[in-house]
């Protein structure tokens, strides 16, 4: 046994050369701010240059208008924007609502409050541009909107004529998702989809980069997406267990799940256990106990706990008998050989012959066996227990099984379909049933896994239903030849293996046309053939749907706070003009302006939500809350719980399939890469670049994950000075691993593997498990002359390789090495 002393000490107290009294703890380490001050960058038109202060000092009348932050964090915050002389000079949080669950004030997080800097950043796109020379070479020609529209329309028509509509792809993008007209996700209801649907459609994708594996898991386990009880319902529980769920960091809104979690915990004092490789803000803020484990081992931890429950008879046999398939040998589908139930797997009576004892689980997960035994007893005997999972556990090469194992734990403890219980999915929430007459139908049915678009560019026609998860068709007929990339960064930065992705894109004989629509020169925008400067949501009128906020429903009318700057235009205008050139303008617009659409959608929504205010009322009030929130947001599967015969699930058996009949068949019929496995049970799987491999390898012995970071929402809000100052890009590593490598806190290090290399400061911290490092995802890929990514994007290190069932992005399954730079 070794006890490692940890925390790094900060030494250089005054790098700015300002001597301070050193006997005071705070001032002894507070020199950084001064150092930065003496090195202040020139900011030009950026906030920080005195605009706001001068506006206020001159006593100028400030107009305050409502807008919102509409990015993809799961929350959505109204913002009050103060305007002077046609410029936003200050961004204020919501000041309506109260501090009660269901009518809470929706205070924006650190990012929304920095909206102004995102509007006026020098990297705003200003005019349409066309690539000159090699794709990605960084040379551009400014072109007119007329030329841009003409060339895009011609490309669309040519590619449809030569290859068919299936060759045109709408890439995943979540830069602006809470609006209704200016909306980049879900793809099927974006303006690009609406445009493409007027000319025969486009190649679909299914799932998303957030939830690909858990979507695959729910499909076979429950028959579809259900969600878990909302987080405010934790007040009905005696115990809350969160697997890799981190609402205090991933849904940071002060009216969203951060606040709901904190308030619920404050009111109910519900005992809370967080299971996570990181001591997340959720662990720090609301947990009584933190259980760190190796990434990708949640299914092993569950199996170890399940073994204890079965051995000691602590599981809910009655619920399992009546509601589940495949827990034990007495509840298996016909024609399945003996030894394939979950109990057989646990007790070493299955094909692998290995008993899943707490000691077995301990060696895989890193969690001591006595802790596993104690947790198993507590979780099994505390009723009700609210178990949920975030989306980190599933973003792995074995992600579908990870997610299904956690669902199985909930079934074993009989906590499904009750107040204070859960399905084991991520929290659900209440939402308003807003109408969307703007949506249209895609005539093309073929759909690829969201993460497989690079494969579809490279080798489309080789992809089939059973070797690549193609849906809606047996195979892909043509490769992707054109990509629309609207408000997204998955064309490069948010995809796996950026260097390989760039190499693919640089060959313009493969994908022949890339149109990027964005507000800023993002990493993906660098790879456009035609680049269109978009208006931000505060520069156009839109109806803004709510974010996840416990049991609260709300809607926002986002005003056009200021005119679009430079030569930027709205995506609605862009698509209308392209439709005009394709001869389908009427089908696209239906004769409506953007404001007429917003009014039309609001009126249509008022049919189902009679209390919803009129356009004029909502414009004035900004944010409207449903005055009658449900007591709890969401308790799914209550009817199934009460009567599983009357209310069966849409699975083949109508039951919860701990043993999935469909997966059993797929394990036989699907073609998988060497070493990959599909299993009918939620078994722990050792995979490529998994924790077992990490401990065997000398070259890349560290598991690398990429947590969601306060600086950014994915990559949105990246590359902005105030947020980079507040939350610099860093790599988290445990002092044990740092000491072995001679690394101290704040040392510059290189993190690398065969796919790429990044350089950034180390955060040597006790807040992460030994053997694990975390590079917060979303930093902007910035290669230097040697190809080292000094922006520190985790996807310089991740791979294209997919999970076996839903072909999802396994970006937390990555091995690396770290050295001092």
Partner 1 sequence: MAVKLGFYFDQTLCTGCKACQIACKDKHDLPLGVNWRRVAEYGGGTWQITGDTFAPNIFANYMTMACNHCDDAVCADVCPTTAMHQREDGVVAVDDDLCVGCRYCEWACPYSAPQYNAETGRMSKCDLCTDFRGEGLDPACVAACPSRALDWGPIDELREKYGDVAAIAPLPDPSVTQPNLVITPHRSAEPVGAATGAINNPREV
Chosen residue from 62, 87, 92, 821 binding partner 1 by CB under 8 A: 92
Closest CB 368 distance from partner 1, rounded Å: 5
Chain positions 99 to 118 lying near partner 1, rule: CB under 8 A, are 99, 107-110, 113-114, 116
**Dihedral sign of CA atoms 190, 193, 195, 197 in order:** negative
Chain positions 6 to 25 lying near partner 1, rule: CB under 8 A, are 6-10, 18-21, 24-25
79 binds partner 1 (CB under 8 A): no
Query: Cα separations (Å) of 23 from 12, 19, 716?
Result: 14, 12, 41
Closest CB 817 distance from partner 1, rounded Å: 20
Chosen residue from 69, 73, 83, 91 binding partner 1 by CB under 8 A: 91
Query: Cα separations (Å) of 205 from 472, 488, 591?
Result: 10, 15, 29
Closest CB 280 distance from partner 1, rounded Å: 9
Contact present, 236 and 550 (Cβ < 8 Å): no
3-state secondary structure string across 678-725: CCCCCCCCCCCCCHHHHHHCCCCCEEEECCCCCCCECCECCCCHHHHH
Closest CB 710 distance from partner 1, rounded Å: 5
Chosen residue from 655, 763, 801, 807 binding partner 1 by CB under 8 A: 763
Closest CB 110 distance from partner 1, rounded Å: 4
353 binds partner 1 (CB under 8 A): no
- Start-end of H helices in 490-548: 498-506
Closest CB to partner 1 among residues 276, 458: 276
Is the bond into 186 cis (omega within 30 degrees of 0)? yes
Q: Dump the DSSP string for 751-785.
A: EEETTEEEEEEEEE-TTB-TTEEE--TTPPP-B-T
Closest CB 270 distance from partner 1, rounded Å: 15
CA-wise closest residue to 67 among 120, 117, 125, 108: 108
Chain positions 55 to 74 lying near partner 1, rule: CB under 8 A, are 56
Residue appearing with tokens 């489309």: 460
38 binds partner 1 (CB under 8 A): yes
- CA 453 – CA 466 distance, rounded (Å): 16
Closest CB 692 distance from partner 1, rounded Å: 11
Closest CB to partner 1 among residues 110, 473: 110
Chain positions 550 to 579 lying near partner 1, rule: CB under 8 A, are none
Chain positions 244 to 303 lying near partner 1, rule: CB under 8 A, are 248-249, 252-255, 258-259, 262, 279, 281, 284-285, 290, 292
242 binds partner 1 (CB under 8 A): no
Closest CB to partner 1 among residues 701, 770: 770
Closest CB 291 distance from partner 1, rounded Å: 9
- CA 703 – CA 144 distance, rounded (Å): 48
Half-sphere exposure (Cβ direction) of 710: Cα atoms closer than 13 Å: 19
Chosen residue from 478, 769, 775, 805 binding partner 1 by CB under 8 A: 769
- CA 158 – CA 174 distance, rounded (Å): 28
Chain positions 365 to 404 lying near partner 1, rule: CB under 8 A, are 365-369, 371
39 binds partner 1 (CB under 8 A): yes
Contact present, 93 and 79 (Cβ < 8 Å): yes
- CA 259 – CA 242 distance, rounded (Å): 16
Kindly report each contact of residues 581-589 with a partner whose C-beta sits within 8 Å and lies 24 or more positions away, as own/partner.
Answer: 581/149, 581/150, 581/153, 582/153, 582/156, 582/157, 582/195, 582/198, 582/199, 584/195, 584/198, 584/199, 587/198, 588/194, 588/195, 588/198
Closest CB to partner 1 among residues 301, 805: 301
821 binds partner 1 (CB under 8 A): no
Chosen residue from 3, 671, 674, 785 binding partner 1 by CB under 8 A: 3
Chain positions 151 to 210 lying near partner 1, rule: CB under 8 A, are none
Closest CB to partner 1 among residues 175, 735: 735
Closest CB to partner 1 among residues 106, 575: 106
For residue 232, what is the DSSP state?
Answer: G
Locate 266 and state its tokens. Answer: 């404050």
CA-wise closest residue to 368 among 427, 301, 419, 302: 301
Which range, of 29-37, 195-203, 564-572, 809-817, touches partner 1 by CB under 8 A?
Answer: 29-37
Closest CB to partner 1 among residues 32, 348: 32
Chain positions 770 to 789 lying near partner 1, rule: CB under 8 A, are 770
For residue 167, what is the DSSP state?
Answer: G
Chain positions 701 to 760 lying near partner 1, rule: CB under 8 A, are 710, 721-723, 725-728, 734-736, 745-746
Closest CB 117 distance from partner 1, rounded Å: 8
Edge to edge, the sheet with strand 482-486 lists: 140-142, 129-131, 530-533, 513-518, 482-486, 168-170
Closest CB 581 distance from partner 1, rounded Å: 42
- CA 658 – CA 655 distance, rounded (Å): 9
Residues in contact with partner 1, counted by CB under 8 A, come to a total of 97
49 binds partner 1 (CB under 8 A): yes
Closest CB to partner 1 among residues 307, 323: 307
Closest CB 246 distance from partner 1, rounded Å: 10
Locate 366 and state its tokens. Answer: 């890193």
Closest CB 694 distance from partner 1, rounded Å: 12
355 binds partner 1 (CB under 8 A): no
Chain positions 404 to 423 lying near partner 1, rule: CB under 8 A, are none
48 binds partner 1 (CB under 8 A): yes
Closest CB 807 distance from partner 1, rounded Å: 32
Closest CB 6 distance from partner 1, rounded Å: 5
């Amino acid at each position: 046994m070794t006890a490692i002393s940890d925390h790094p000490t900060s030494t250089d107290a005054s790098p700015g050369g300002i001597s301070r009294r050193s006997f005071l703890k705070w001032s002894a380490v507070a020199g950084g701010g001064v150092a930065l001050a003496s090195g202040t960058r020139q900011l030009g038109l950026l906030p920080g240059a005195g605009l706001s202060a001068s506006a206020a000092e001159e006593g100028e009348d400030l107009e305050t208008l409502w807008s919102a932050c509409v990015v993809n964090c799961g929350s959505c915050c109204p913002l009050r924007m103060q305007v002077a002389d046609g410029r936003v000079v200050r961004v204020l949080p919501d000041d309506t609502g109260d501090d009660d669950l269901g009518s809470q004030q929706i205070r924006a997080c650190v990012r929304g409050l920095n909206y102004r800097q995102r509007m006026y950043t020098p990297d705003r796109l200003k005019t349409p541009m066309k690539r000159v020379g090699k794709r990605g070479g960084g040379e551009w020609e400014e072109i007119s909107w007329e030329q841009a529209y003409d060339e895009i329309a011609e490309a669309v028509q040519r590619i449809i004529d030569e290859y068919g509509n299936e060759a045109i792809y709408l890439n995943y993008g979540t830069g602006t998702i809470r609006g209704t007209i200016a909306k980049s996700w879900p793809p099927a209801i974006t303006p690009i989809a609406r445009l493409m649907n007027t000319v025969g459609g486009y190649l679909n994708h299914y799932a998303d980069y957030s939830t690909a594996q858990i979507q695959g898991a729910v499909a076979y386990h429950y028959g579809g997406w259900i969600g878990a009880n909302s987080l405010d319902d934790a007040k009905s529980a005696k115990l809350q267990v969160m697997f890799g769920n981190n609402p205090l960091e991933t849904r940071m809104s002060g009216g969203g799940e951060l606040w709901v979690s904190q308030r619920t915990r404050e009111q109910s004092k519900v005992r809370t256990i967080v299971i996570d490789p990181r001591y997340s803000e959720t662990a720090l803020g609301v947990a009584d106990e933190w259980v760190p484990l190796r990434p990708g081992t949640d299914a092993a931890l569950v199996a170890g706990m399940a073994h204890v429950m079965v051995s000691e008879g602590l599981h809910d046999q009655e619920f399992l008998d009546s509601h589940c398939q495949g827990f034990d040998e007495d509840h298996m589908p016909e024609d399945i050989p003996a030894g394939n139930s979950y109990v057989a797997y646990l007790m070493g009576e299955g094909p692998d012959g290995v008993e899943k004892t707490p000691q077995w689980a301990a060696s895989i997960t890193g969690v001591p066996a006595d802790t596993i035994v104690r947790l198993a007893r507590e979780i099994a005997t505390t009723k009700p227990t609210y178990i949920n999972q975030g989306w980190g556990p599933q973003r792995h090469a074995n992600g579908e099984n990870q997610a299904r194992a956690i669902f199985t734990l909930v079934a074993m403890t009989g906590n499904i379909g009750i107040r204070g219980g859960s399905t084991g999915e991520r929290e659900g929430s209440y939402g308003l049933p807003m109408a969307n007459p703007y949506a249209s139908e895609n005539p093309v049915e073929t759909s690829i896994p969201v993460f497989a678009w690079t494969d579809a560019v490279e080798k489309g026609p080789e992809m089939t239903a059973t070797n690549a998860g193609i849906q809606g068709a047996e195979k892909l007929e043509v490769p992707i030849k054109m990509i629309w990339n609207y408000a997204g960064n998955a064309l490069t930065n948010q995809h796996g293996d950026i260097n390989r992705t760039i190499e693919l894109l640089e060959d313009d004989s493969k994908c022949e046309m890339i149109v990027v629509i964005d507000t800023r020169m993002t990493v993906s925008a660098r790879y456009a053939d035609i680049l269109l400067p978009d208006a931000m949501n505060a520069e156009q009128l839109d109806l803004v749907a709510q974010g996840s906020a416990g049991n609260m429903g709300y809607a926002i009318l986002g005003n056009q706070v200021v005119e679009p700057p430079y030569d930027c235009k709205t995506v609605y205008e862009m698509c209308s003009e392209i439709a005009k050139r394709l001869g389908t303008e009427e089908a696209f617009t239906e004769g409506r302006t953007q404001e007429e659409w917003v009014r039309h959608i609001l009126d249509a929504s008022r049919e189902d939500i009679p209390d919803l205010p009129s356009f004029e009322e909502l414009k004035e009030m900004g944010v409207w809350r449903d005055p009658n929130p449900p007591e709890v947001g969401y308790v799914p599967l209550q009817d199934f719980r009460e009567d599983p015969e009357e209310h069966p699930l849409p699975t083949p058996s109508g039951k919860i399939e701990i043993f999935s009949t469909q997966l059993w068949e797929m394990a036989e019929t699907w073609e998988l890469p060497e070493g990959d496995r599909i299993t009918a049970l939620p078994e722990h799987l050792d995979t490529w670049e998994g924790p077992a491999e990490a401990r065997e390898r000398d070259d890349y012995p560290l598991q690398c994950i990429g947590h969601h970071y306060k600086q950014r929402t994915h990559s949105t809000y990246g590359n902005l000075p105030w947020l980079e100052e507040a939350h610099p890009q860093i790599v988290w590593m445990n002092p044990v691993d740092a000491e072995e490598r001679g690394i101290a806190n704040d040392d510059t290090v290189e993190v690398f593997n065969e796919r790429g290399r990044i350089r950034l400061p180390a955060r040597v911290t006790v807040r992460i498990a030994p053997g694990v490092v975390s590079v917060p995802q979303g930093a902007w890929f910035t290669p230097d002359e040697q190809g080292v990514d000094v922006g520190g994007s985790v996807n310089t290190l991740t791979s294209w390789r997919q999970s076996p069932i839903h072909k999802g992005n396994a970006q937390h399954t990555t091995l690396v090495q770290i050295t001092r730079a």
